[in-house]
Structure 1
Amino acid sequence: MTVPIIRDIDTARAGILRRMPLDDDAATTTAVAGIIAGVRQRGDAALREYTQRFDGVDRATLEIPRERWAAAAADLDPALRHALLLAIGEIRRFHERQLRNSWVEFSVEGALGQLVRPLDRVGLYVPGGAAPLPSSLIHAAVPARVAGVREIVVCSPPQRSTGEPAEVVMAAAHLAGVDRLFAVGGAQAIAALAYGTESVPRVETIAGPGNRYVIQAMRLVYGTVGIVSLPGPTETLIIADHTASPRAVAADLLAQAEHVEASAILLTPDPVLAEQVQVEVERQLATLPSPNAQAARDAVTRRGGIVIVPDLATAFMLANDYGPEHLCLLVADPWSYVGMVRNAGGIFLGEESFEVLGDYVAGPSHIMPTEGTARYASPVNVDSFRKIISLVGLNRSGLNRIGPAAMRLAEAEGLVAHAAAVKVRFESADTDGRE
């Protein structure tokens, strides 16, 4: 059988549930660093050269005119247009619930508070190779727009056949209301967004998935620009019990497995279900077209599997240690287990609330933490595109109460000028008659 069944937890921990360090391939790093340097030094000329070399496209201008996106949207299949608009509406509705306001609290000692401000300009990367992803565009652009970002810039690689980003990506850009779209892909797109060129404006932060060159470029430019996340290959972990449908479990495993280098794992205390799912995965694999079938077979064979656990409590313990991007609960009364989840990008509850809905239309962004980063990271959301500015407006009463403690702490750290800045306030009060 293609998907292995693992009956020993220690074996699973050492194998498919083992988190490896994030990719630090020296050859990739060297290649990406060279591309970034080229873009910094030569701007648009380097972008055109890399686009010709890597995408086989020779473009005189890199930006796609807005009227071209509108034409792509107008020519879109009506059912696909409806699906995109439905998704945009659901994503907007979900993220509008996340909005938080600036606040100021006044007291007899003055005021403290915070300003919540949207970023001025953000960059979104949208893959466009074998599988263009308009869904990734809307799952980043809509939260950014809800956040109040002034300008949203999208980079997506050109198709060799047309010299432009995929038609559906251009249509999605129009429907989602982004501001500028460039036919630039790969590490060179990340460099252009981070440093700016004659055509591509410099942004404050970058979001979106990509291949290992794109992700390594994000690592290397971080600090110069904000990076929302480093999304690696997609992953799903399913916890299922005897009530689950083997057919549905297998379908959910394969739905993620068809992505290149994905991982798909099932944890179950039911040996009968494990064997049924194993058979069902094999049956459904036979129905997939190429190359999807090969990618899915490779994923479930090399990076996936079925782990038989003694009970559901153990399953949740393993899941929390693993920190999956997608945690799918195909169990009786899944809501009763939500409190047991500490680490996951998203939780999908029940067979009618499966992960593919989250990929497209459920509402939360599908750009979620991978590689175990769900231990500390969140999906793309409104706060990914906002910043907080602290407000400190204390008066003499507040200074009198907390100033001496600030001075003492500064002295303990050996920062005499810090301490003096407090002391001078009290000396000034003594000489100018202030109480």
Structure 2
Amino acid sequence: MSKSQAISVWKLNELSQPARDKLLERTESDMSEYLLQVSPIIEDVRRRGDAALTEYAKRFDGANLREADLKVSSEEFVAAAEKVDADTREAIEYAADNICRYHEAQKPGEMTMQEVRRGSFVGERFLPIPSVACYVPRGKGSFPSVLMMNVIPAVVAGVKQVIVITPPGADGSVDAATLVATQLIADRLNCRIDVFKCGGAQAVAAVAYGTATVPRCSKVVGPGSPWMVAAKQLLSSRIDPSIPAGPSESIVFADGSVDGGLAALDLLIEAEHGPDSSAFLVTTSQQVADEAIAAMPAHWAAMSDLRVDYSSTVICGSMGGIVVAEDRGQAFEFINDYAPEHLQILSTDAWQYLGDVENAGEVLLGKHSPSTLGNFVLGCNAVLPTSGKAATVSPLSVMDFMKFMSVAYVTESGYPEMAKQAERLATYEGFDGHARAVSSARNRYMR
């Protein structure tokens, strides 16, 4: 049986409610098994620190590391620069420039203030968080783009200590392009970024507790495996786990105005990330569905065996395929219930559908805006909420690396009215100390 014949096809009109609910599930829908597996790893790193990290590097990454090797050396940065070709370097520089522009425009001013009543002012003062660990996965590839998406907004926000944690390769090295991107950002934005060789749950534990080599951080950001996601859940009282960013997921919506072969091409973008990804083509056109199925063998023929294996596992299984909707309303009801990480809209008039979208990490409109561009070079952040969390959570941004404190100031002229109304509410709620603090008793101390 060919891969095209095995593509999963789901017709929403024919699905029972339990079957429809099943389509909305992700790899992380049930984290109980992962939580059990990572709990002892976390405890081991807490107790033994660097020694545990080197052992897990051997067990999970096949890398023989000494504790002294956990931090990437300056010599390794130099060696990495020699390995990266000019075209790749140019692409990294191009992407970094766009990502910097996008996030620099996001950064708020130092302070806002408004006069809510005459003589009474309230506002916010914005400050960067003290430290952050940016996770760059390695298990299914090398991702300098992920490094840029994580590190650049952190540095733009003004975080003083930005580090990178990433799994080592079997030879103990870090991906060369990832190190080149790190150095480029450090040079451009005039900052220091240390890189550490640790991945998975053990890396999250390392930055949550700190080791002799890896510094403890206030927050950890970046996408990763279910094991990493589980570790962030278990350690959420020790370190801010940031937005939920698990295995890749996408929905490509295509109406009848586009060729299904184009929809099939874009369906493969996120599906090829790994067998734990999720990817659906949602369409109101049976013709588009048929064209997508017919085009898939040619697309697969142009891909490596590994990426064919990953993507076919997804779109020929229960976590992907083609969803045929009766009409536009049914299609977007499913899309909004799914709340995908990536939503791509293929149509000759893609903008008409934007108002139908309520839940998505990002929306890419039109035939010239494939997810590939968003993932690498457009500049908008590609670290996006997964597992349906796009219903309430936003993409990674400069604000994820900042906090604000409320600031208030009441003048002598503004005080009487504020005090009168506050005393009334405090009295009603039974807070005598609150009420007395704004009563006539205060006046004798204010003269």
Q: Per the alignment, in what secondary structure is the counterpart of residue 267 of structure 1? A: strand
Please name the residue that 2:387 is paired with. 371
Is 1:99 the counterpart of 2:115 in the alignment? no
Please name the residue that 1:220 is paired with. 234
Please name the residue that 2:48 is paired with. 42
CA contact (8 A) 1:231 1:367 kept: yes
The alpha-carbon deviation at position 108 of structure 1 amounts to 4.2
CA contact (8 A) 1:63 1:181 kept: yes
Distance in 2, Cα, partners of 1:339 & 1:108: 39
- What amino acid sits opposite 1:59 in the alignment? R
What TM-score, normalized by structure 2, do the two folds share?
A: 0.90
**Worse overlay, 90-99 or 355-364:** 90-99
CA contact (8 A) 1:194 1:224 kept: yes
Is 1:242 the counterpart of 2:259 in the alignment? no
Is 1:19 the counterpart of 2:25 in the alignment? yes
Distance in 2, Cα, partners of 1:297 & 1:267: 17
CA contact (8 A) 1:6 1:306 kept: yes
The alpha-carbon deviation at position 193 of structure 1 amounts to 1.1
Q: Per the alignment, in what secondary structure is the counterpart of residue 91 of structure 1? A: helix
Q: Could you give the per-residue CA deviations for residues 141-188 of structure 1, whole angstroms, max 9, x where no partner exists? A: 111122122221001111112x12222222222122251111111111
CA contact (8 A) 1:6 1:12 kept: no
Distance in 2, Cα, partners of 1:369 & 1:2: 29
> Residues 408, 22 of structure 1: CA spacing in aligned structure 2 closer, same or farther, 3 A cutoff?
farther
- What amino acid sits opposite 1:403 in the alignment? A
> Residues 395, 215 of structure 1: CA spacing in aligned structure 2 closer, same or farther, 3 A cutoff?
same
> Residues 412, 53 of structure 1: CA spacing in aligned structure 2 closer, same or farther, 3 A cutoff?
farther
Q: Per the alignment, in what secondary structure is the counterpart of residue 187 of structure 1? A: helix
> Residues 388, 368 of structure 1: CA spacing in aligned structure 2 closer, same or farther, 3 A cutoff?
same
Distance in 2, Cα, partners of 1:424 & 1:248: 68
Distance in 1, Cα, partners of 2:182 & 2:26: 36
Distance in 1, Cα, partners of 2:299 & 2:57: 38
Q: RMSD in angstroms over aligned alpha carbons?
A: 2.2
> Residues 130, 270 of structure 1: CA spacing in aligned structure 2 closer, same or farther, 3 A cutoff?
closer
Please name the residue that 1:299 is paired with. 314
Percent of residue pairs identical = 33
Distance in 2, Cα, partners of 1:20 & 1:295: 16
- State how 1:72-91 maps to structure 2 within 5 Å: 72-91=80-99
**Worse overlay, 227-236 or 346-355:** 227-236
Please name the residue that 2:347 is paired with. 331
Q: Could you give the per-residue CA deviations for residues 406-435 of structure 1, whole angstroms, max 9, x where no partner exists? A: 444445555x4xx3144134243343574x
What TM-score, normalized by structure 1, do the two folds share?
A: 0.92
CA contact (8 A) 1:3 1:281 kept: no
The alpha-carbon deviation at position 219 of structure 1 amounts to 0.9
Q: Unmatched 5+ residue regions in structure 1?
A: none
Q: Could you give the per-residue CA deviations for residues 15-69 of structure 1, whole angstroms, max 9, x where no partner exists? A: 4632369444434212312121222222222222322332232223111123422
Is 1:116 the counterpart of 2:132 in the alignment? no
Q: Per the alignment, in what secondary structure is the counterpart of residue 284 of structure 1? A: helix
- What amino acid sits opposite 1:358 in the alignment? G
> Residues 40, 409 of structure 1: CA spacing in aligned structure 2 closer, same or farther, 3 A cutoff?
farther
- What amino acid sits opposite 1:257 in the alignment? A
Is 1:173 the counterpart of 2:187 in the alignment? no
Q: Per the alignment, in what secondary structure is the counterpart of residue 343 of structure 1? A: coil
Aligned residues: 430
Distance in 1, Cα, partners of 2:298 & 2:320: 17
**Worse overlay, 250-259 or 53-62:** 53-62
- State how 1:199-348 maps to structure 2 within 5 Å: 199-260=213-274, 261-302=276-317, 303-348=319-364
Please name the residue that 2:436 is paired with. 423
- State how 1:396-411 maps to structure 2 within 5 Å: 396-411=412-427
Distance in 2, Cα, partners of 1:420 & 1:262: 56
The alpha-carbon deviation at position 99 of structure 1 amounts to 1.7
The alpha-carbon deviation at position 314 of structure 1 amounts to 2.5
Distance in 2, Cα, partners of 1:420 & 1:180: 50
Please name the residue that 2:152 is paired with. 142
Is 1:159 the counterpart of 2:169 in the alignment? yes
- What amino acid sits opposite 2:94 in the alignment? L
